[in-house]
Amino acid sequence: MIGQGCDLKMYNDEDGKLAIPDDIKDISKPIIGYVGFLTTIRLDIDVLVYIAEQRPQWSIVLVGPEDEDFKNSKLHNLSNVYFLGKKDPNELAGYIKGMDVTLNPQAVNQVTDINYPLKIDEYLALGKPTVATKTTFMAYFKDHTYLPTTKEEYVVEIEKALEEDSPELQNKRIKYAGEHSWENFVNKIYRYIEETENN
């Protein structure tokens, strides 16, 4: 489970100096965002369309390259949806910092249901309230994320995430994500090897 741990050093803003890129900085808030490859193999376009249509006062910001389904989707016709395109990996943390709520609206299938979602660690490492489709694996994050199962629940949970966010919750998310670094994973492996050798 932790075997998919990631290096979260670039998703660190302890000194508050992480820059928010210009192309997201001036978008009206609240910004509800996703960072990653926009592909229907993993993501549910209908959820994003529903959120955007139900809450036109929210800005839906999508950062990442698109597959053909996304390029041809209704999302491009909605005035509160912003496609910012593919970015350099070193810039992604800045985009996440500029978001008020982060999303992972997964399409539930055999690939996504048991997949370790690295982006959740990245979102939480920056303290962001995170709303993600409830899957078998997302239950692992249940104490630190909001886990809707329907598009209707997505709107409810995003509203809750916006209302409840606080410095205290942000610090808890950052601490939790920090437990999932490669360094911690390697240390757990070494401890396991030592325990095995001693038995």
pLDDT along the chain (199 residues), means of 10: 52 89 97 97 96 98 98 98 96 97 93 81 96 90 96 98 97 90 56 62
pTM of the model: 0.87
Query: What are the backbone dihedrals phi and psi of residue 42, each rounded to the nearest 5 degrees, phi first?
Result: -115, -25
Q: What is residue 193's predicted lDDT score, i.e. its pLDDT?
A: 60
Question: Tokens 């996703």 belong to which residue?
Answer: 34
Q: What is residue 2's predicted lDDT score, i.e. its pLDDT?
A: 36
Q: Residue 70: helix, strand or coil by DSSP?
A: helix
Q: What is residue 1's predicted lDDT score, i.e. its pLDDT?
A: 35
Q: What is residue 195's predicted lDDT score, i.e. its pLDDT?
A: 65
Question: Tokens 């995170």 belong to which residue?
Answer: 130
Q: Does the structural domain 2-198 have CATH classification 3.40.50.2000? A: yes
HSE toward the beta carbon, residue 32, CA cutoff 13 A: 27
Q: What is the CA radius of gyration of the chain?
A: 17
Q: Residue 131: helix, strand or coil by DSSP?
A: strand
Cα angle, residue 32 at apex, residues 61 and 119 outer, rounded to 5°: 85
Which stretches does DSSP call E strand in the chain? 31-35, 59-63, 81-85, 101-104, 130-132
Q: What is residue 22's predicted lDDT score, i.e. its pLDDT?
A: 96
